[in-house]
Amino acid sequence: MAGETAWISHYDEDMKKETVDFNLELDEEIDKDGSAVSVDIILPDDLLERILSYLPIASIFRASCVCKRWHATSERFLLNPSHLLPQKPWYFMFTSSDEPTGHAYDPNLRKWYCIELPFVGTSNWSISSSYGLVCFMDNDSSFMDNDSRTELCLCNPITKSCRKLQKPPGMSSDYGALAISVDKETHDYTVAIVKSKQVPGNFFQWDISIHIYNSKEEAWVTPLTEVLTGWRGGEESVICNGVLYFVVYYTGGVPPENRHALVAYNISNQFSQASLSFIHIPCSLTCARLMNMKEKLVMVGGIGKLDRPDIIKGIGIWVLRDKKWEEIVRMPHKYFQGFGEFDDVFGSSGVDDLIYIQSYGSPALLTFDMNIKQWKWSQKCPVTKKFPLQLFTGFCFEPRLETAP
């Protein structure tokens, strides 16, 4: 991209840029003349690896340009990334265009990197991530009609390794919710899709089916099909501690106190006859975003006004403990106002202790650290709004080198 530099460019030049290109190519040694004594001479190999392990992934690629020895050490990290310390999750932001290029925010260095995905995704795709892998599901009519053009893709945005999964079985659907969970030890993964379709001629009844893909068996199973009365599925779901959670929306007559509800389904044992379990939402919400934070279910929701529950007045964060919601924090009003005009529906995702919140109408990005209870704006995203109705979307993912689809 014009006006941008690669990860492995000189550090001083990088600091002058708002964004840099993402490049996994390791350059040859850069020779520099100088009379200073090289630290490399006195550092043993194990200490050098220890020092480099503290660097963010982007800095490791830059360090590989210092000399041949550092280059070789950096390549060892690529072959055995377990030596690296845990990295904070990144956030990939892109617009509603069909271009595969977007910008990823690194909270470690507070910098944006230009990244091109290995395939074209749009804002209409459902996206779920886990332990370095990101799964994309096309929500357009070709997918929902179970057409042969179905797209279900899995990739690692850092290494750009990618594969397409076979088409899930079962009925066509009006709504589909996607979730993925990666085993941190074996790197096997589970993909879950919740399909929801209105029963013909009956607005109050909806067919619900759950489809599970296991990477070890490379096959889909459909452990549950059921009819819900007064509730339909949507596009929000997550797998947490062996349980699939998804949000349902009320479609009955007189609306209840809360228009949303949470449904839990145990997928840890596919041979058991598990049933759906309903969990109440803590208050009236305009939208709800689910995320797995260290195997705890966290929900970020838009809080509706008392007299107009469909109008957002603030944002809250809750943790589910023993099927009861515990409120963690509410967004301070100054940050809520900082987004400008905030839609009733917004984007939010998180991993470990870091939550990202984004308005679809602007590239502004806010973070909340669950550990230290701190709100913080990201560095300004290099993407600018070119026309009033331009939309922005994104997803959170862990920058890992060792996981592959």
Phi, psi of 317 (to 5 degrees): -125, 130
Q: Same domain, yes or no, for 67 and 178?
A: no
* Domain limit, last residue, from 53, 78, 103: 78
**CATH no. for residue 116?**
2.120.10.80
Q: Is the pLDDT of residue 296 over 90?
A: yes
* pLDDT range class, residue 82, cuts 50, 70, 90: low
Is residue 17, in this structure, part of any structural domain at all?
Answer: no
Q: Give the chain's domain count.
A: 2
User: Which of 332, 295, 337 lies closest to 317, judged by CA?
Assistant: 332
- Sorted by sequence, the CB contacts under 8 Å of residue 26 that are 6+ apart come out as 8, 61, 64, 65, 71, 74, 75
Query: Per-residue pLDDT tens for 145-173?
Result: 444 445 789 999 988 889 998 888 776 88
User: Which of 268, 167, 293 lies closest to 218, judged by CA?
Assistant: 167
CB 398 within 8 A of CB 89: yes
pTM: 0.81
Structural domain harbouring 62:
43-78
Q: Same domain, yes or no, for 50 and 144?
A: no
- 353 token code pair: 């202790």
Q: Same domain, yes or no, for 121 and 162?
A: yes
d(CA 61, CA 125): 31
Phi, psi of 352 (to 5 degrees): 60, -110
Q: Same domain, yes or no, for 100 and 239?
A: yes
* Domain limit, last residue, from 30, 58, 78: 78
- Sorted by sequence, the CB contacts under 8 Å of residue 323 that are 6+ apart come out as 277, 279
Q: Same domain, yes or no, for 143 and 209?
A: yes
Return the minimum-mean-pLDDT range out of 111-120, 183-192, 309-318: 111-120
First to last CA, the chain: 28
Query: Per-residue pLDDT tens for 34-56?
Result: 455 566 666 677 677 766 766 77
